[in-house]
Structure 1
Amino acid sequence: MDDKTKMAENRTDWAEDRTVLANERTFAGWMRTGMASVALAVGLKAVFGPFQPTWIAKSISLIFILTAILIFQSARRRACKTVARLNDHRAEPVPQHMITLLSFIFSVAAGATGIVLWLL
């Protein structure tokens, strides 16, 4: 194998490693977006607290909670698909089971927040 071929393979390996890291940053960004949706639901409940009928304000908050859960699960699906497709070389990707666990925990917490907001 000549030097040019080896250098080209190294560049490809580094590019795949950067893509692995970019996938993790993208996953984290989507998780932050989902948490912002939960925060918006809590904020709407605070703003619309004395609003009558209460089911309207609760329904609007619930829309943001459901959106957050959708974001968490979509982020999980996309991140796991990308991790499965890429070859890591020097970068060590977050295991798929950890991505799934994190998105599950965030989804359950968002759902619990939605239940609490509905019962208030």
Structure 2
Amino acid sequence: MPSTELPNNPDANDLADTRTAWAEDRTVLANERTFAGWMRTGMACIALALGLKAVFKDTDHLMLAKGVAEIFIVVAILIFWSAAQKCRQAQSRMKDHDVEAQPHKRMTWLAAILTVGAFATGVILWLL
């Protein structure tokens, strides 16, 4: 009857280490793709806010239209920061391994820049 245990030889251990490293790399890349997806979702919220402004520009209830548009601006900002937080959490769990992810600061800066852009878009929507 064949043994189900891995043989105790260096080649088998090297293969296991290589597979583990590849899995860790895939996990880091998946985290970065997820972060990018959340950033796109936040940007879509900003685009929706701008679209609402354009659609309802001639309405008699301009303040209501601006208020609804601002909801999407706020949601975009919440999405940016939630994505940055989740990305940092995932990266901190991977620190024990030999993988190189995007630096935490880069994700935080991106969220901050998009937040400023979203906020500025909201201000412009109120001024128009």
**Normalised TM-score (structure 1):** 0.93
Q: Which has the higher contact order (CA 8 A, sep 6+)?
A: 1
What is the CA RMSD across the aligned residues, in angstroms? 1.3
Partners of 2:92 and 2:110 in 1: CA distance: 17
Matched, 1:75 2:86: no
- The residue correspondences of 1:39-58 to structure 2 (distance < 5 A) are 39-58=47-66
| Residue segments in structure 2 that go unaligned for 5+ positions in a row | 1-8
More helix by share: 1
Q: Deviations along 1:3-52, whole A, 9 cap, x unmatched?
A: 22221121111100111111111111110110000000000000000111
The alignment of Structure 1 onto Structure 2 pairs a total of residues equal to 119
The one-letter code sitting in structure 2 at the alignment partner of 1:104 is A
Q: Which residue of 2 aligns with 1:20?
A: 28
Moved over 4 A (4+): none
- The residue correspondences of 1:5-16 to structure 2 (distance < 5 A) are 5-16=13-24
Q: Which residue of 1 aligns with 2:3?
A: none
Q: Which residue of 1 aligns with 2:125?
A: 117
